[in-house]
Amino acid sequence: MELNAFVGEWTTEATHPAVPNTVVHGESTFEWLEGEKFLINRARNEHPDFPDSISVIGLVDERIAMYYFDSRGVHRVYEMSVSDDVWRIWRDAPGFSQRFEGRLTDDGSTLSGVWQLSQDDATWADDLEITYRRSS
């Protein structure tokens, strides 16, 4: 899977342990910045407790990096890999490490994955589960 596999408009459905029994609907778009060196992701959510965000993805210092910014004022830098049908994102930060693994279906129409969180630098717990469905 290359970054081009993400380009387009997607609807999203997410669940999070902080809001049990709630499916949060949203939308996400991926588009190339002119020159096709950086991929821009804009995400919006319909639930007030879930921030809207923008991410810039590209090759930085020989690795794929994702610079994340959201409507709460949070900003983070993640590493990222894309291979075969698997999308991985991670960041190691003492007391708040995160990782994501998502899989793209063979037809490229759905990407499903789970974010995990480690607050003790040893154990991981599922955090945000998200499914992207390509808009027609």
Provide the whole-model pTM.
0.93
Instruction: Return mean pLDDT, the chain.
Output: 95
Q: In CATH terms, is domain 3-134 a member of 2.40.128.20?
A: yes
Instruction: Check residue 2 and give its pLDDT.
Output: 84
Angle made by CA atoms 112, 103, 89, in degrees to the nearest 5: 90
Cβ 36 vs Cβ 7: under 8 Å: no
Distance CA 25, CA 136 (A): 17
**Per-residue pLDDT reduced to its tens digit, 58-78:** 998 889 999 999 999 999 999
Distance CA 12, CA 23 (A): 10
Where along the chain do its domains lie? 3-134
- Weakly modelled stretches of the chain, pLDDT under 50: 1
Longest dimension (CA), the chain: 43
Instruction: Check residue 17 and give its pLDDT.
Output: 93
